[in-house]
Amino acid sequence: MNGKQDPGSLIVSTLERAWRDIQMHNPSVPEVIFITGTGVEKDGVKWGHFHAEQWVTESGRVHELFVSGEALNREPVETMTTLLHEAAHGVGYEQGIKNTSRRGKYHNRKFVQLAGTLGLMWPDGQKPDTTRGFSAVVMRPETVTLYAATIEALKAGRAAWRELGLAPTDEVKPKSTNTKPKAECACPGRYIWTARRTLEEAPVICGTCEEEFQIAA
């Protein structure tokens, strides 16, 4: 590798550092062993998953934390959201709080409460998904500020990733020719791509924060 750190090792070490930062602010977050790979499934893409007591070590069993390669293709704030999301599951397991059902897919209100202790929130006015429930929590603005350095480290450690929706057997598709600019609202990590003319003709309002989408700087 010409003296450079292996991309896989860099990814794992970066995720481990982010997890330590989470533990520093939340001592109840348990130890985990990180793995990564594709998150493509029949019904969508899995960003991450907490698996309790999957690894056997000399000091006892350790939980597994899976972060998909597709998750590494997202904005760093979204990757950090995934880590905090899974940390909430870890705390729930350690405290014996059942926060999911339907084989771990449906996230209930107890999950929202656990996520809240980690700096996440359920967007006001948003209805739970019929399949995943209250899974789509987001970072509070103050949480984004708290983990600003960690988020930057995740960006720097993004040594490799998997393209969204590209299964291992798929052929590589041509890159998109979409040249529409990226527009953001006040929600952390939420954005759309749309023509400038669309935004000039009439404001596009986010249903969560109720703020207009503006062309990103």
Q: What string of pLDDT tens digits covers the 217 residues of the chain?
A: 455 678 999 999 999 999 999 999 999 999 999 999 999 888 788 999 999 999 999 999 999 999 999 999 999 999 999 999 999 999 999 999 999 999 899 999 999 999 999 999 999 999 999 999 999 999 999 999 999 999 999 999 988 998 874 444 444 444 444 556 777 777 766 667 677 667 666 677 766 666 776 777 6
Beta-strand ranges (E) seen in 96-189 are 100-101, 106-107, 120-121, 138-139, 182-184
Q: Which is nearest to 41 in space by CA: 138, 168, 175, 172?
A: 168
Specify the pTM.
0.74
Q: What is the pLDDT of residue 170?
A: 43
The letter for the amino acid at 194 is: T
Q: How far apart are CA 129 and CA 59, in angstroms?
A: 39
Q: What is the pLDDT of residue 192?
A: 76
Q: What is the pLDDT of residue 5?
A: 75
DSSP summary character for residue 97: -
Q: Within 13 Å of residue 147, how many CA atoms lie on the same side as its CB? A: 32
Q: What is the pLDDT of residue 189?
A: 67
Q: What is the pLDDT of residue 54?
A: 96
Distances from the Cα of 78 to the Cα of 74, 136, 137, 146, 203, angstroms = 6, 11, 10, 15, 25
Q: What is the pLDDT of residue 162?
A: 87
Q: What is the pLDDT of residue 166?
A: 44
Q: What is the pLDDT of residue 212?
A: 72
Angle between helix 76-94 and 109-117 (nearest 10):
110
